[in-house]
Amino acid sequence: MSKQSLTRREMITRLTALGLTVSAATAMTAAVSRRAHAADPIRISFANVFEKGELFVQLGNGIENAAELMGYEFRRYNNEFDSEKTMANARLMVQDRPDLILEYNGVEGIGQALRRIFDDAGVPFIAINVPIPGGHWFNLVNQEIGTDTANVVVPHAKAKGWTGNDTTAIIIQASAAGVEVNDCVRYFYVTAAETMDGMTKIKPEDISATTTSIGDTGIQVDGAGALEESYTAVKNALQTLPDDRHILLYSVNDDSTLGGWRAITEAGRQENTIVAGLGGSVAALGELRNNPQWIAEGSVFATHWGQYLIAMATAVLNGVEPPPLTKCPQLVLTPDNVDKYYDAEGKVQLLPPLVPENEYLRDTGVLQRFNNVEGLTG
């Protein structure tokens, strides 16, 4: 009995000691874990819509560089403009348990499926360009940039004495890219028609992907967002316009505009044309500086979206609720202001000031580290 009671005491003592040891070990492990966690960098995964083409590559590089500068751990995926690949990447990303996902999905219809994957994994996400239900959204506003561009182009045309009676707007859409992307050309035409006498007025919703002519003052061609296709499409369209007709040329991106402009110069009609680009590519900025007919260039500063997205990600991780749409920096450049924002090699040297809705980005302190946003100092 005594041996038995001794054993019991021994057992109790040992169990107590074991319990204390386990508690202490657990506490120490938790402390170590907390320390380790505190030392862990923020982990961000980014799926790019495509890793081909100037815009997408520069955009991806910009995000990666900004994440590196902030000391965030960064992983990059390529959605290849393909829904299945996008879904596969989404599953891969959540397996990796990042703190936040930046998703640039080019296929609007799969937004719900992506949301389910991210929500099930409990990972917050920011949708770039194409919205995903339930996620935060960062994008350019095509409508605004098309309108602003028309507001630069039309006064210039009017100053030359052009009216809707002798002028046609050729807008180059990329029909497969969807309504949002083509808003820039639609609103360009609508705004031009509203501000220029004699142009056929039309509601934005009446210009669709299948619209090809708008009265006698508008032609919409499909350049597929590409140089060669836009060149051919504009070449064909020029056949239908008298040689003395004035032309306003605008498109969804710089490759398209350059293709269309090449068709116009080949036809010897450049003196009768005013052209505006969109994208801020090196080639287009060169035209804006050196070509008197190229009078406006919409820039969305895509190479620098990275710092805004990383600032936005930081805000979200800090518990801030962003507005429904966080606008990217965007501005219509003219020959007068281009040198302020871009250097001679076409590199961004200054970004436009934050719009009021984006003031929450200031509080993260991220943008100040880049010291390149007008009105924000480091």
Partner 1 sequence: MNEHVGMGGGMSAGGRDPESVKSRWQSTQAQFFGIGAFYVAVVIFFALTSDYFFSYSNALNILTNVTVIGIVALGQTLAIVSGGFDLSVSGVVPLGAVTFVIFGNAEMATPAAMLLAVLVGAAVGVCNGLIVTKVGINPLIATLGTLSIAAGLAYALSNGVTIPMKNIEVGVLAERTYGRVPYYVVTLIGLSLVIWFAMRFTVIGRRIYAIGGNREASRLAGLRVDEITIAIYATCAGLAAFAGVVVSSQLLAGSATVGADAALTSIASVILGGAALFGGVGGVGGTLLGVLVLGTIANGMALLMVPAFYQQIATGVILLLAVGFGRFRAVMSG
163 vs 270, which CB is nearer to partner 1?
Answer: 270
Q: Which helix (H) or strand (E) holds 158?
A: helix 142-159
Specify the 3-state DSSP secondary structure of 133: coil
Is 231 an interacting residue with respect to partner 1 (CB under 8 A)?
yes
Please pick, from the candidates 11, 25, 30, 282, the single residue that binds partner 1 as defined by CB under 8 A: 282
Please pick, from the candidates 228, 339, 357, 374, the single residue that binds partner 1 as defined by CB under 8 A: 228
Determine contact, residues 258/172, Cβ cutoff 8 Å. no
Among 7-15, 127-135, 227-235, 301-309, the segment contacting partner 1 (CB under 8 A): 227-235
The least CB distance from residue 313 to partner 1, in Å, is: 25
Is 127 an interacting residue with respect to partner 1 (CB under 8 A)?
no
Q: How many CB atoms lie within 10 A of CB 271?
A: 9
Specify the 3-state DSSP secondary structure of 295: strand
Is 121 an interacting residue with respect to partner 1 (CB under 8 A)?
no
Give how many residues touch partner 1 by CB under 8 A. Answer: 36
SS3 content of the chain, % helix, strand, coil (to 5): 50, 15, 30
Interface residues for partner 1 in 289-308 (CB under 8 A)?
A: none
Is 233 an interacting residue with respect to partner 1 (CB under 8 A)?
yes
Q: From CA 34, how far away is CA 24, in angstroms rounded?
A: 15
Q: What is the largest CA-CA distance in the chain?
A: 118
Kind of pairing, strands 326-327 and 294-299? unpaired
Determine contact, residues 238/168, Cβ cutoff 8 Å. no
Q: From CA 193, how far away is CA 200, in angstroms rounded?
A: 6
Q: From CA 326, how far away is CA 322, in angstroms rounded?
A: 7
Is 80 an interacting residue with respect to partner 1 (CB under 8 A)?
no
Is 179 an interacting residue with respect to partner 1 (CB under 8 A)?
no
Determine contact, residues 264/239, Cβ cutoff 8 Å. no
Is 359 an interacting residue with respect to partner 1 (CB under 8 A)?
no
Please pick, from the candidates 132, 154, 169, 221, the single residue that binds partner 1 as defined by CB under 8 A: 221
Cα 197 to the center of its chain, rounded Å: 34
Determine contact, residues 223/260, Cβ cutoff 8 Å. yes
Is 236 an interacting residue with respect to partner 1 (CB under 8 A)?
yes
Is 57 an interacting residue with respect to partner 1 (CB under 8 A)?
yes
Site string for partner 1, 183-212 (x = CB under 8 A): --------------------------xxxx
129 vs 253, which CB is nearer to partner 1?
Answer: 253
Interface residues for partner 1 in 17-36 (CB under 8 A)?
A: none
Positions touching partner 1 (CB under 8 A) are 51-54, 56-57, 175, 209-213, 219, 221-222, 226-228, 231-233, 235-237, 239-240, 254-255, 258-259, 262, 266, 281-283, 286
